[in-house]
Amino acid sequence: MASRSSHFAIRWVVAGASCVSLVVGALGCTADPASWLILFSGGVPPGTVSVHAEIRTGSCEGAAIFSDDIAMGERTGMTPSDLADGTYYFYAEARSASCSALATGCTVVTAPITTESITVTLSPVSMPPRCEASMCNTGVCGRRDAGIDGGAPDLGIDAGAPDLGIDAGAADLGIDGGALPRFTDLGDRTVRDNNGSGLVWQQGFSLGTQNQAASITYCTTLTLDGGGWRLPTLAELLSIVDLMRVSPVIDTSFFPATPPTGGFWSSSPLDALTTHGWTVSFFDGMQYANLLTIANHARCVR
């Protein structure tokens, strides 16, 4: 079959006490929407406040190219997504208010969708929180605040800038648009962050993808502009997310060609699970716990 995009309009609907439906209109694939059902074996686990779902590539542990959250009792949420023909993995998990996974499940999905329904059954598990407490908001990871900036890592209207002001991330406080822009292109394939951190970022990123250990090595051996690079922490990587932008959620004027799919490794471990580490997706600006052996991109800092 010739390769083409499958355009999906995805709508979450709570379908009852024991299942959540993801209704997918597959334009150009089927005339009628296919139903994506999230079922629970043995009923919804006590303490469930939300369901997190992802479409992943490669395997059930692969990188997410689409993700969404729905609170139990919430009716709808609309997000567009494009999938080329191929094999994908539909992963879902029920979460508690502290963002612990209470039940998980995964199933293979083939695009274009030709069946009327796709079902993934969630089985009870006991897992640590999927994100740090400061990044958990009633079962949803990656929303540190509840302000107008959609979950940026600070409090304010400036969509993730480290200052509090109306200047959209300028390095000063004021209404004058900022004495300095948020970033400065240093002209040598590096970018300085003017938020007061003193960080300088690699403008590009690793050509390929690799596990966390290899990503650490990639950065420590990077000779760009004299070397001295390292893999950023989770907080540092989240600091360059710009949620006012649409996939990729980063300022592409300073970080061009950042892929909107796949993740970027941080050096931060998942404290409660030594086999996992934190990544950030510039598809949605969210943090994800990945197996240390999963291949992701690396962007270095110093």
**And the tokens for 195?**
């938020």
- Per residue in 71-84, pLDDT (tens digit) is 765 544 434 345 67
Largest Cα–Cα distance in the chain? Answer: 59
Domain 5-133 has CATH 1.10.10: no
| Number of residues assigned to the chain | 302
Whole-number Å distance between alpha carbons of 33 and 26 = 6
Does residue 214 contact residue 199 with C-beta atoms inside 8 Å?
Answer: no
- Per residue in 155-213, pLDDT (tens digit) is 333 334 344 333 444 444 444 444 578 999 999 999 999 987 889 999 999 989 999 99
Report domain 145-302's class. Answer: alpha beta
**Residue whose entry in the numeric block shows the structure tokens 């991109």:** 297
* Element spanning 7, H or E: strand 5-14
Q: How confident is the model at residue 294 (pLDDT cuts 50, 70, 90)?
A: very high
CA dihedral 273, 276, 282, 287 (to 10 degrees): 0
Give me the DSSP letters along 151-180: S-SSSSSSTT-SS-SSSSS-SSSSSSS-SS
Residue 275 CB neighbour total at 10 angstroms: 11
Strand order in the sheet with 263-269: 263-269, 276-281, 287-291
Among 267, 264, 280, smallest CA distance to 213 is for 267
234-255 as b/e: b if 16+ CB within 10 A: bbbbbbbbbbeeebbbbbeebb
Domain residue extents for the chain: 5-133, 145-302
Model pTM?
A: 0.48
